[in-house]
Amino acid sequence: MFIPGILISLLTFPGVIVHELAHQLFCRWCKVPVFKVVYFQFENPVGYVLHEVPANKWHSIMISIGPFIINTLVGALIAFPAALPVFKFNNAGPLDYLLIYLGVSIAMHAFPSTGDANAIWEHIKDKNTSLVVKIFGYPIVGLIYLGSLGSFFWLDLLYGIGIAIGVPNLIIALLA
């Protein structure tokens, strides 16, 4: 079943917003000037951050993978309080289901885009890039492209469910 990406983005817009916010936060943390931020729009791309090209290659990598870190953490933290009422006590209210939805939608937008992979690629293919940066950068680019390919098979949704539902349930099971 084919569902257009814009429809998925519309249904999971909180994740798009957090994804772009994560790029912006990592730009600030790396002291890279940001020129424009679009948190959500009804066209492709649904969100983006325009920023100066980082002089530091590590900063480029961190800005590109920032959403993976932030969206994963925020998605898990938002869904965690709702996990007990929804999955263990069967006395969940509307707010609990809202938190689960937010957690899944935020976590499923954790994967960096192919544009992020291209930005890393441009930095690491430079002959002046250190071997250490290349050792870390090339696999990250490959993983981003695999994640992009996997989103065709709903890998991003599975990841969101795993982070927002699976991780809290695993923690609860370990602590119970």
Give the model confidence (pLDDT) of 155-174 as tens digits.
999 999 999 999 998 988 89
- Listed in sequence order, the residues at least 6 apart from 27 whose beta carbon sits closer than 8 Å to its beta carbon are 33, 34, 49, 51, 63
Q: Identify the CA nearest to 160 among candidates 87, 78, 61, 37.
A: 78
Global pTM reads: 0.92
- Contact criterion met (CB below 8 Å) for 21 and 74: no
Residues 145-156: tens digit of each pLDDT? 999 888 888 899
- 50: pLDDT confidence band, cut at 50, 70 and 90? very high
Please identify which residue in the block is written with the tokens 């709903």.
154
Domain boundaries, the chain: 5-175
Map residue 35 onto helix, strand or coil. strand
Distance CA 154, CA 151 (A): 5
Q: How confident is the model at residue 1 (pLDDT cuts 50, 70, 90)?
A: low
Dig out the tokens for 28 from the structure.
Answer: 């600030």
pLDDT value at 102 more than 90: yes
